[in-house]
Amino acid sequence: MSRRRLTRVEMRRRLSNIRVAIIAGLVAFMLLGTSGVAYALWSASAALTSTAGTATVTVSQALSASTLAKTYTSSDLVAVGVVTVTNTGTRSGDYSLAIAGTSTSTAFRSAVNVAIGTGTCTTTSALTAPVTGTMAATVTKTGTLAAGASVALCVRTSITAANVAANPGVSLSGTAASSITIGTWSANAATSIAFTQSIAAPTGFQSVQGNRYKIYQANVCIASNWDFNGIARGGVCENEQTSQWRLVDAPNGNKYVQRAHNTSTTLPERWSATSATAVTLNTPGDVAAARWTITARPDGTYRFISESQNRCLAVLANNSLALAVCSDASAAQGFTFELTANSSPAPVTLTCGGNNGTWNVYGWPVLTGYQQEVDYFVYIDGVYFAAQPNGYDPNAHLYTADMTAAQKTVGTHAVEVRQSVGGAPQTVTGTGIYKIAAGTGNMTCT
Query: Predicted confidence band at 13 (pLDDT cuts at 50, 70, 90)?
Result: low
Sequence-separated (6 or more) residues with CB below 8 Å from residue 299: 74, 328, 331, 334
* CA–CA distance, 230 with 245 (Å, rounded to integer): 14
- CATH code of the domain in which 306 resides: 2.80.10.50
> pLDDT grade, residue 5 (50/70/90)?
low
The domain boundary, picked from 199, 232, 249, lies at 199
Which tens digits make up the pLDDT trace of 435-444? Answer: 998 877 788 8
Q: Which of 140-154, 162-176, 366-380 has the lowest mean pLDDT?
A: 162-176
Contact in structure between 358 and 343 (CB atoms under 8 Å): no
Residue 244 vs residue 162, higher pLDDT? 244
Q: Is residue 115 part of a domain?
A: yes
Task: Say whether pLDDT at 243 is over 70.
Answer: yes
Residue 299, domain member (yes or no): yes
Task: Say if 205 falls within a structural domain.
Answer: no
pLDDT confidence band for 334 (50 / 70 / 90): very high
CATH number at residue 367: 2.60.40.10
What pLDDT does residue 19 have? 52
pLDDT reported for residue 205: 79
- Higher-pLDDT residue of 164 and 54 is 164
Same domain, 66 and 147: yes
Same domain, 107 and 182: yes
Indicate whether 66 and 195 sit together in one domain.
Answer: yes
83 & 48 share domain: no
* 204 occurs within a structural domain: no
Distance CA 261, CA 268 (A): 6
The domain of 17 spans 1-54
Whether residue 266 is found in the same domain as residue 394: no
Q: Provide the percentage of residues in the chain whose pLDDT is more than 90.
A: 50
Of residues 144 and 274, more confidence is placed in: 144
Of 190, 84, 193, 64, whose CA–CA distance to 145 is shortest? 84
Residues 6+ away with beta carbon under 8 Å from 317 = none
Question: Do the Cβ atoms of 157 and 113 come closer than 8 Å?
Answer: yes
Do residues 161 and 73 share a domain? yes
8 A C-beta contact, residue 233 and residue 217: yes
Same domain membership, residue 413 and residue 306: no
119 vs 31: which has the higher pLDDT:
119
Is 27 a residue whose pLDDT tops 50?
A: no
* 206 is a domain residue: no
> For residue 395, what pLDDT band results from cuts at 50, 70 and 90?
very high
Whether pLDDT at 136 is above 90: yes
* Amino acid 279: pLDDT: 92
Across all residues in the chain, what is the average pLDDT?
83
Residues 231 and 322 in one domain: yes
Residue 194 CA: distances (Å) to CA of 68, 109, 355 = 9, 16, 72
CB atoms closer than 10 angstroms to residue 86: 20
Q: At what angle do helices 8-33 and 35-44 cross, to 10 degrees?
A: 150
pLDDT in tens, 177-220: 999 999 889 999 988 899 999 987 766 777 877 788 999 999 99
Which of the listed residues 10, 34, 54 is the one where a domain comes to its end? 54
Same domain, residue pair 47 and 71: no
Domain CATH for 148: 2.60.40.2310
Q: Are 271 and 335 in a shared domain?
A: yes
pLDDT at 340: 85
Q: What is the mean pLDDT of residues 8-14?
A: 58
How many structural domains is the chain composed of? 4
Of residues 430 and 37, the one with the higher pLDDT is 430
Together in a domain, 90 and 166 = yes
Residue 321 lies in a domain: yes
Of the given ranges (58-67, 98-107, 415-424), which has the lowest mean pLDDT? 58-67
pLDDT classification of 6: cutoffs 50, 70, 90: low
Asked if 229 contacts 319 with a C-beta cutoff of 8 angstroms, the reply is: no
Helix, strand, or coil (residue 270): strand
Q: Which of 145, 170, 199 is where one domain is finished?
A: 199
55 pLDDT band, cuts 50/70/90, is: low
Alpha-carbon Rg for the chain, nearest whole angstrom, is 41
Phi-psi region of 422 (alpha: psi -120 to 50; beta: other; left: phi over 0): left
Q: Is residue 415, in this structure, part of any structural domain at all? A: yes
Report field, pTM of the whole predicted structure over 0.75: no
pLDDT of residue 423 exceeding 80: no
> What's the rounded mean pLDDT across residues 360-385?
91
CB distance 326 to 309 below 8 Å: no
Q: Are residues 115 and 194 in the same domain?
A: yes
Looking at residue 224, its pLDDT comes to 86
Mean pLDDT over residues 261-275, rounded? Answer: 77
Question: CB neighbours (10 Å) of residue 54?
Answer: 8
Checking if the pLDDT of 316 tops 50, the result is yes
User: Does 23 map to a domain?
Assistant: yes
